[in-house]
Amino acid sequence: MSDAIPDVNTSGESNSTIEFQDYMDESQLDHVMKLVTKDLSEPYSTVDNGKPIGCVVGKIDQEEAILQNGAPTSVPTGYIGMLAVQSSYRRKGIGKALVRKVLERMKNMECQSVTLETGKQPL
């Protein structure tokens, strides 16, 4: 799946075409690791004309729950763990768009809740 973000202009010259791309396989890990290592805001990818510029790490799991009648069941739940956007592309709505894309997928997968990791340890 690939979707574009219209009208993202990073240099003031010509508009770029930013695309969302699903994670396909380990061949993309080098790009993801470079983004996370260099531009981790706190850790689908986003590309500009074929060059990775951002990524978000999300996961959907099954969690045990109890129905109102007391019967056990399993429900889908979402988790967002990391967000990274290359520094020269920040403040352009790319991070927000990445998170919205993940939340949209989680909603479509009928997740009952989403946990967002902030990187801060609880007190």
Question: What does pTM read for this prediction?
Answer: 0.62
Cβ pair 40, 84 in contact under 8 A: yes
Greatest alpha-carbon pair distance for the chain in Å reads 61
What are 32-57's pLDDT values in tens digits?
Answer: 777 665 544 333 666 777 788 888 88
Cβ pair 99, 22 in contact under 8 A: no
What are 48-91's pLDDT values in tens digits?
Answer: 777 888 888 888 889 999 989 999 999 999 888 888 888 898 99
Beta bridge partners of 77: 61
Q: From residue 95, how far is each of 75, 99, 111 by CA, in Å?
A: 27, 6, 21
Walk across the sheet containing 114-116 and list its strands: 2-8, 16-21, 45-48, 51-66, 72-85, 114-116
Beta bridge partners of 114: 78
Cβ pair 27, 48 in contact under 8 A: no
Q: What is the mean pLDDT of the chain?
A: 76
Residue 38 per-residue DSSP state: H
Task: Return the amino acid letter for 5.
Answer: I
pLDDT of residue 8: 46
